[in-house]
Amino acid sequence: MIPVYEEQYTFAIWACYSVTAFVLITMLVYSLWRSRVTKRELEALDGARRRAPAEPSK
């Protein structure tokens, strides 16, 4: 059920709640995506380092 407000305030109320939801969700999704990319990058580098043969000591 969509609530009904005084006509002159309807746009302002929906605009404020929508903009807030958009900004907060975008920030959250971007932070999680970046976290995932960095975690995978670190795991790949760590894995490559472990697989690399140890250099003979000089």
Q: Which tokens hold the place of 28?
A: 């959250």
Residues in touch with another protein (CB under 8 A):
3, 5-6, 8-10, 12-13, 15-17, 19-20, 23-24, 27-28, 31-32, 34-35, 38-39, 41-42, 45-46, 49
Q: Residues with Cβ < 8 Å from 5, sequence gap 6 or more?
A: 13
Least separation in angstroms between residue 54's CB and another protein is 12
Least separation in angstroms between residue 13's CB and another protein is 5
d(CA 29, CA 21): 12
Q: Residues with Cβ < 8 Å from 1, sequence gap 6 or more?
A: none
Least separation in angstroms between residue 16's CB and another protein is 4
